[in-house]
Structure 1
Amino acid sequence: MSLYLHYSAISDVGRVRRENQDSGYAGPWLLTVCDGVGGAVRGDLASSTAVQALRKLDQRPDEDILGQVAGAVHRADDRIAEIVEEDPGLNGTSTTATVALFDGARFGVGHIGDSRAYLYRRGELRQLTHDHTFVQSLIDEGRITEDQARTHPHRNLILKALDGIRHEEPDLFEFPAEPGDRVFLCSDGACGTLTLERMADILGTGTPDFAAVELVRASLDAGSTDNVTCIVADVSEEPPDDDLVPLLVGAAADLPRRAPIGGGVSGAVGGLFRGHRSGDTGEIAPVPDDVPAGAFVTDPIDAETARYAPLAPDRYTWLRRFLVVATLVGIAWVVLAAGWSWSQQQFYVGESDGRVAIYRGLNADLPGLSLSHPYEVSDVDLSLLSELDAETVREGIEAGSLDEAQATVDNYAARQEAS
């Protein structure tokens, strides 16, 4: 007996991040979530590149289902390597990948990173994948609990990802499907915030569409500061409606991040849960209709009279010039002050005396003027890192925030410990 998938996919930029670095895909044979690693260069490009490569799996697989999953993950990694080779400025980009390939009777799963896959069966929710993170290693050793991991300062430290350089092997396994199963894939914006009990409570109700939307909404209401991507699929003996098409969401969808739900076939929600922006629209107010024509013209005179009329003495010329110069200087000062203030809210990771450091300011200099200074110098020694990692740090790694910069430093600290 062949079974079918009824699925839904939702991706939201969230309430804090400026861009969505998650990508997802749901189709009749394939479910996948990829999350661009925080702190890396262009995580959105890495996740969308991986999903575009993985979505080619969306057809009925042959007997070697795990071989097909592994091959697709490796091809996604190779494609990331190609884009980095084409543009060295992308060096450091990486993404997680969680893939579930369905053949009508079983799922073959491939996993790398900290996105997750769950199985909701007969009222019980079970996590299928194992996180490749620093905090997960602490949980495995019994040093912290799952609840403590949610607030651990190094909870964003990924130990394995697709980056086109290290060519990590994914975890591979398969499990049989049963009618009534509900499979849930998500980025850590959801599972890093919601408890197992809360996810089970939502997954136990409604259609896949309802569950996916409620999981995103619950994640944001619970305080998630990340992008949130949720894919929910039901295993059924009944084929889905003909209007159920494959769904491409998040960065891979190449749609406006704040499109309303239902916009296009992607099903991406963008900023659905942000609410409306308040304030004016920036438009110039129209002139009221009851203002008579010519109301702003006062005492018109004959053109010829004006042409030959004697000019009035030019009084206080020096004062007017002084005021013009003072105004221009004031504007320039305000612009420079605003620019300097903005630059001091920027961070990047670079080298300071042979160590990995977080810099405040811009990764650039003007003649005779430095636009950045060391904000925090870590204990990570460049000489203990690989040549590639050390060169990447020397060139400077842009960060969207101080938290992202600290996550990047933590990543190199873990690599130093592992070396």
Structure 2
Amino acid sequence: MKNLSSNVTERTERRKGEEEQENTEERERLENNRFEDQDETTERARCEWDFHLRTVVSSATAASDALGVIEFGPSGELLATGGIARKIRIYRFSSLVAAASDADGGGGDVALLDHASAYDYYICTPAKLSSLRWRPGAGGRIIGSGDYDGVVTEYDLERRTPVFERDEHGGRRVWSVDYSHWEGCSVMAASGSDDGTMQMWDPRCDGGECVATVRPSATKTSSVCCVEFNPFGGPLVAVGCADRKAYGYDVRKLSDPVLILDGHQKTVTYVRFLDDRTMVSSGTDGCLKLWNIDDARAVRTYKGHVNNRSFVGLSVWRKGGLLGCGSENNQVFVYDKRWGEPIWVRGFEPTGESGCERGFVSSVCWRQVGEEDECTLVAGGSDGALQVFVGTRKPS
């Protein structure tokens, strides 16, 4: 009996030693794989695009003309800009590209244009503009704006006159305007304001009948800085707030948010849908965040640009998975959704005589239409300059 017990003990000890050896080998294998994966990730993180500056549109005057918003029309042909100059300028993208082609004699020259000759036409507005958005289903004819006086206005671009006005935010600045793309409420619009509310309204009604008012933050002084409906047609509307959070609401039941995205350390200035399952947010904590809509989980954080207090723009190119934003150090940043560091950075070259070294890139917009191997990013500066960048995918 003693010998049998001794044999059992010996076999048990041997088995434990073998298991420990196997565990050690497994840990070493996993560690090696981890470093191999890191090396592969570093290799893949290289920029797959060649970007170059195509056109610069600036002004010969020294008047302040900071651009706060840039929006491409549904077809990608018309480009609208707005800012503190109290004008909606409409450009034809084909004209900007043609000017660049004429200037390029084969040496990669950049077209230098003046706003007065570059835009197709402009519409004067009664106040400084903070937001522009093309109204779906209007054939590119109607554009909505939010201004510093707390008024939402729609303009008919063919007649170049206002056709709708809504003043329900108590005179507090409207930061953002958007329209629903969901069939269940395709005529609804929303605006976010310094009054701490997001209001949904019906633009078909005279004065815009209020459908619902949402106050995301318990703090009444917490501004709503951005609203965006799901552009893929779902019932979700996203809201970015000064309380450092972004919220998602189901438009069928707005009493409580269905998503609370908590991760920024300062004001959430922008929210953008990248696809039907992910969103990107921007904050004055100097980072962008990618969120999984299904579980409100932060997937990735993007850092590199400078953003401590200003609105510097955020746009996503959905077809290519690229993120664009401005920076308070007067640079344009492009991130690939797969990696947290920028893949391309370009500084705004001075275009005027005063204050250029203290300027910043204040707005960006990707052109959503086009080929998968070519993209266009338009950026605007606090000095009023508009710069067009074209990217082409590098050969594999």
TM-score (norm 2): 0.26
Specify the structure having the higher radius of gyration (Cα).
Answer: 1
**Larger relative strand fraction:** 2
TM-score (norm 1): 0.25
Task: Answer 1 or 2: higher relative contact order, Cα 8 Å, separation at least 6.
Answer: 1
